[in-house]
Chains A and B, each alone.
Chain A
Amino acid sequence: MEPILFIIFGAIAVGGAIMVVTRKHPMSSALYLILTLFAVAALFVLRQAHFLAAIQVIVYAGAVMVLFIFVIMLINVPENKLPMERLTGLRLLGVVAAGFLILESAILARRFAMPAGSTADAGSVQAVGRALFTDYLLAFEITSVLLLAAVIGAIALAKRKI
């Protein structure tokens, strides 16, 4: 069952990602990005990472994408003032380089060989929560400081006058 679902959701994720980078208007890109994020959340479920799948939907598809759509609507660039996208030689070279990156990662992925660990569900809420609040407690606390810094920085940057 897993291979079939993997192919379906993987195809949705890749197709959505391609649409994100090829659409002209940022709003259609944002909507396709939400599709990709949901497909990736489904892939997390396939790997038994239920906690991360829930976080992906709530934080990414919920909070971050709402922020994106909010900003797209707030600055609301008129259709005729969107940047003109021309495919110059340098840009084409960049896309080709990205293609080589995919090729390299494919070769690396084929060479992946690691013994499978215990099949206990490592991505469940219990396992992740226990690891997060014992072994990785310091990293977790520092993450909260990072988020605080990001909030203050975002307000300071977007405010007209401080």
Chain B
Amino acid sequence: MMEPTAYLLLSGILFGIGVAGVVARKNALIILMSVEIMLNAVNVAFIAVGSHLGDPTGSIFAFMVMTVAAAEAAVGLAILIAIYRLKETIDITELSVLKW
């Protein structure tokens, strides 16, 4: 089996793309999708190192991350629907009620 270095590098690249999506986009839906990419990148690292060490703990952690990602998507999209109903926009720069 391959050393996990290449997988960790891929994980870092995917995470960086996710970060770039979160900081550079305005569309709230795409920001949520970028967060999903970041969580998936973390899973790649967990699985790579877990199988390298021959320990099922890596899979368990990835499983927990997936559960949290599903919960996050459900709540985040519900908030998005509520915001769209109220403000008729999904542009995050226009959602600044909580700004001082």
Contact = CB atoms under 8 A, between A and B. Distances in A.
A101 to B, nearest CB: 5
B21 A20 contact: yes
Given A20-B21, A95-B23, A127 B66 contact: no
Interface in A11-38: 13-14, 17-18, 20-21, 23, 26, 29-30, 33, 36-37
Nearest to B36: A33
A98 interface: yes
B77 to A, nearest CB: 5
Interface in A70-117: 71-72, 74-75, 77, 81-85, 87, 91-92, 94-95, 97-99, 101-102, 104-106, 108-110, 112, 114, 116-117
Chain A contact-residue range equals 35 or more
B78 A64 contact: no
Interface string B21-64: 10111110110111011001001100111111111111110111
Given A122-B56, A146-B68, A153-B75, A94 B32 contact: no
B66 A67 contact: no
Contacts of A59: 66, 70
B26 A60 contact: no
A43 B44 contact: yes
A36 B41 CA distance: 10
B17 to A, nearest CB: 4
Given A116-B54, A117-B52, A101 B73 contact: no
Contacts of A118: 54
7 contacts: A33-B36, A60-B66, A71-B80, A95-B20, A105-B9, A146-B68, A154-B74
Interface of B: 1-21, 23-27, 29-30, 32-34, 36-37, 40, 43-44, 47-60, 62-64, 66-75, 77-82, 84-85, 89-93
Interface of A: 2-3, 6, 10, 13-14, 17-18, 20-21, 23, 26, 29-30, 33, 36-37, 40, 43-44, 47-49, 51-52, 55-56, 59-60, 63-64, 67-68, 71-72, 74-75, 77, 81-85, 87, 91-92, 94-95, 97-99, 101-102, 104-106, 108-110, 112, 114, 116-120, 122-123, 127-128, 130-132, 136, 139, 143, 146-147, 149-151, 153-155, 157-158, 160
